[in-house]
């Protein structure tokens, strides 16, 4: 019942179309009852010509009935499919928007290919259930019941004999359908894993080819695909049973009527036996051929319907998963705004056995540039992610302008921070589209200024299409340095009061870095800047340096002060950059 209620909610806004589909289906069913009755009337006329009416009118009535059957059948299918495709559109958007609310921690625990399969594959499978499952299930009830009533009215004794197999058919279909539901859930899970594996391999195909690991990776895909194949074959072995059972038992009613032949008589004057008019017997035989058709159609759709049912469970399970990081009750935009940053005894771990930050405390004043330095794994990038609430600290407080970031509206908080990560993500569109990500009303002058400041104009001038150049999936058509400059320009277009540069210049050469550094110094005047870097040239430009080791601040001060102190920072400076200073 919960599954049906969720599908019903999904159809909000298109329930009239489903009602129209059901009404047309009922009309189609009712019209299907009429032709055998008209043939029965014809047989009465042939037996008694004196009482016969116009055969032209009778034939015309049959023609009109079949014309109306064609129209109602068309509208029945059209209405259900329109409703299904509209629901598919809404459900896909709902899943995508829900995923946008999920934290990186949630996404990191799941394979992206699996989530894509749920967003597209599982949602698309639900269309089968809405377009076919709902109306066909209804007709599988209405048609047998309606025809049974007509047969009972015509001759209730013969009807009881002919209809005896129906409860057996309905019970078998129900039992087998319940058994196959869990099978198809497993099939859909395996399909998602195979899709995710292939997507993962295609994303890193260059690496796989460089290590000549094509055969090994193909064996992994083959192993998972074989398991998917075996599961879907096993599920189909059971899903196809109902259609065979129905085909077998559909003749049971006819067999029972034939076995009753010695008891049946068409002589109305006979004292013994069951009197059945010949015309009524023809109607019985015609109805017996139609009465199991809805069950047969439903059986033929069993694998699709079970697949849709399993997919719907997976989709609704995802939609029912609450977002871990949301606005807390009472979250409000502060009236007095200051752009200071402070970490107060912050603790964080990705897993219980992997502590990253332990009592981390430091402060960044408004308009100050602070560099976070330390060995790989010290927690520098993690601190940046806590500032934007990609993760929540296990203990302690992260503050922005003196306010706990968890007490601020999430959308407002992230509007105030422009983040440039080392792992640059670019959408598979044009450079202009990437620069204007999430921004509206940006003038061409502002865009050009951001491009110049980031140093991106240097290579954009050499591109034939300039800002309209398509970068490819994840910016594959650009070099690492070009992508980082685009990411920096995108952050400058955002024009946020706080700028976080997480290894933002790691992929550019020294000359470009010097140009970017001087330009960013001008562009970030008056802004609060948090820098994670491994190059001394970037670190020395900071107002203050905070040294982090094993999740704690071990040293803080200007470059000159820390070098003179000959502490952890000075020791790091004496080690080659490529060994120590590479960020997380």
* Residue (of 472, 491, 470, 360) closest to 421 by Cα position: 491
Residues 297 and 153 in one domain: yes
539 part of a folded domain: yes
- 360 three-class SS: strand
Instruction: State the pLDDT at residue 581.
Output: 44
Contact 393, 386 (CB under 8 A): yes
Instruction: State the pLDDT at residue 578.
Output: 43
Instruction: State the pLDDT at residue 579.
Output: 39
d(CA 184, CA 232): 7
429 part of a folded domain: no
Q: What is the DSSP string of 522-559?
A: HHTTTSEEEEE---HHHHTTSSEEEEEETTEEEEEE-H
Report the CATH number at residue 242: 1.20.1560.10
d(CA 149, CA 171): 20
Instruction: State the pLDDT at residue 583.
Output: 40
Residues 288 and 408 in one domain: no
501 forms beta bridges with 420, 531
The CA-based dihedral angle spanning residues 272, 274, 277, 280, taken in that order and rounded to the nearest 10 degrees: 180
d(CA 105, CA 389): 11
d(CA 58, CA 60): 5
Nearest 5°: the CA angle 429, 430, 435 is 105
Neighbouring residues of 238: CB distance < 8 A, sequence distance ≥ 6: 176, 179, 180, 183
Residues 250 and 368 in one domain: no
401 forms beta bridges with none
281 part of a folded domain: yes
Instruction: State the pLDDT at residue 252.
Output: 74
Burial 382-410 (b: 16+ CB within 10 A, else e): bbbbbbbbebebeebbbbbbebebbbbeb
Instruction: State the pLDDT at residue 136.
Output: 76
DSSP state of 328: P
Report the CATH number at residue 389: 3.40.50.300
Instruction: State the pLDDT at residue 3.
Output: 64
Residues 262 and 206 in one domain: yes
pTM reported for the whole predicted model: 0.71
Query: Domain of 565?
Result: 334-416+530-584
Residues 277 and 343 in one domain: no
Residues 162 and 304 in one domain: yes
143 part of a folded domain: yes
Beta strands in 422-551 (DSSP E): 498-502, 528-532, 544-549
Residues 268 and 341 in one domain: no
Which residue ranges in the chain fall short of pLDDT 70? 1-4, 51, 111-114, 117-119, 177, 181-182, 203, 206, 210, 250, 260-276, 298-305, 504-525, 534-535, 537, 575-584
Q: Which of 268, 286, 319 is the last residue of a domain?
A: 319
Q: Which of 277, 294, 319 is the last residue of a domain?
A: 319
End-to-end Cα separation, the chain, in angstroms: 49
Instruction: State the pLDDT at residue 279.
Output: 75
User: Total domain count for the chain?
Assistant: 2
Residues 221 and 338 in one domain: no
Contact 401, 417 (CB under 8 A): no
pLDDT tens by residue, 47-74: 777 767 777 887 888 889 889 989 998 9
d(CA 125, CA 188): 10
pLDDT tens by residue, 493-514: 888 889 898 876 665 666 666 6
DSSP state of 117: I
- 312 three-class SS: helix
Q: Which of 288, 319, 350 is the last residue of a domain?
A: 319
* Residue (of 543, 507, 298) closest to 420 by Cα position: 507
Contact 449, 487 (CB under 8 A): no
Residues 54 and 151 in one domain: yes
Residues 301 and 342 in one domain: no
Instruction: State the pLDDT at residue 582.
Output: 39
299 part of a folded domain: yes
Instruction: State the pLDDT at residue 580.
Output: 42
Burial 233-253 (b: 16+ CB within 10 A, else e): eebbebbbbbbebbeebbebb
Residues 368 and 224 in one domain: no
Residues 291 and 345 in one domain: no
432 part of a folded domain: no
547 forms beta bridges with 373, 555
d(CA 263, CA 260): 5
114 part of a folded domain: yes
199 part of a folded domain: yes
The CA-based dihedral angle spanning residues 65, 68, 69, 71, taken in that order and rounded to the nearest 10 degrees: 170
Structure tokens at 229: 């194949």
């Amino acid at each position: 019942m919960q599954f049906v209620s969720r599908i019903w909610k999904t159809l909000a806004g298109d329930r009239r179309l489903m009602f129209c589909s059901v009404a047309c289906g009922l009309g189609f069913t009712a019209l299907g009852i009429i032709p055998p009755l008209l043939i029965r009337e014809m047989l009465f006329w042939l037996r008694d010509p004196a009482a016969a009416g116009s055969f032209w009118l009778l034939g015309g009535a049959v023609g009109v009935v079949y014309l109306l059957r064609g129209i109602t059948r068309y509208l029945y299918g059209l209405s259900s499919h329109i409703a299904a495709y509209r629901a598919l559109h809404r459900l896909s958007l709902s899943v995508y928007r829900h995923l946008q609310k999920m934290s990186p921690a949630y996404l990191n625990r799941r394979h992206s290919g699996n989530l894509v399969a749920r967003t597209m594959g599982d949602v698309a499978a639900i269309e089968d259930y809405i377009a076919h499952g709902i109306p066909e299930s209804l007709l599988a009830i209405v048609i047998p019941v309606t025809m049974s009533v007509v047969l009972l009215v015509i001759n209730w004794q013969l009807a009881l004999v002919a209809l005896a197999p129906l409860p057996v058919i309905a019970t078998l279909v129900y039992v087998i359908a319940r058994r196959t539901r869990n099978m198809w859930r497993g099939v859909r899970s395996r399909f998602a894993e195979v899709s995710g594996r292939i997507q993962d391999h295609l994303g890193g195909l260059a690496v796989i080819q460089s290590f000549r690991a094509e055969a090994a990776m193909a064996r992994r895909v083959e192993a998972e695909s074989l398991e998917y194949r075996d599961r879907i074959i096993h599920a189909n072995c059971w899903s196809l049973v109902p259609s065979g059972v129905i085909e077998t038992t559909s003749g049971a009613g006819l067999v029972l009527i034939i076995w009753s032949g010695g008891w049946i008589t068409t002589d109305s004057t006979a004292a013994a036996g069951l009197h059945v008019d010949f015309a009524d017997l023809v109607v019985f035989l015609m109805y017996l051929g139609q009465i199991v058709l809805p069950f047969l159609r439903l059986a033929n759709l069993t694998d699709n319907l079970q697949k849709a049912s399993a997919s719907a469970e997976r989709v609704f399970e995802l939609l029912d998963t609450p977002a871990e990081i949301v606005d807390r009750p009472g979250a409000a935009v502060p009236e007095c705004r200051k752009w200071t940053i402070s970490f107060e005894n912050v603790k964080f771990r990705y897993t219980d056995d992997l502590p990253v930050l332990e009592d981390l405390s430091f402060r960044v004043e408004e308009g100050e540039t602070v560099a976070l330095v330390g060995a790989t794994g010290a927690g520098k990038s993690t601190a940046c992610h806590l500032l934007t609430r990609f993760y929540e600290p296990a203990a302690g407080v992260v503050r922005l302008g003196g306010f706990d970031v968890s007490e601020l509206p999430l959308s407002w908080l992230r509007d105030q921070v422009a983040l440039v990560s080392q792992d640059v993500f670019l959408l598979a569109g044009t450079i202009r589209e990437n620069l204007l990500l999430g921004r509206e009303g940006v003038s061409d002058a502002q865009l050009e200024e951001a491009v110049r400041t980031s140093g991106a104009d240097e290579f954009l001038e050499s591109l034939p299409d300039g800002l309209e150049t398509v970068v490819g999936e994840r910016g594959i058509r650009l070099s690492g340095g070009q992508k980082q400059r685009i990411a920096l320009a995108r952050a400058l277009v955002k024009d946020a009061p706080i700028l976080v540069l997480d290894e933002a210049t790691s992929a550019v050469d020294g000359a470009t870095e010097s140009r970017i550094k001087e330009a960013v110094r001008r562009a970030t005047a008056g802004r609060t800047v948090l820098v994670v870097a491994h190059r001394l040239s970037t670190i020395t430009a900071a107002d203050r340096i905070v040294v982090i080791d094993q999740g704690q601040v071990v040293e803080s001060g200007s470059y000159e002060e820390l070098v003179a102190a000959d502490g952890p920072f000075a020791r790091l400076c004496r080690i080659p950059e490529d060994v120590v200073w590479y960020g997380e």
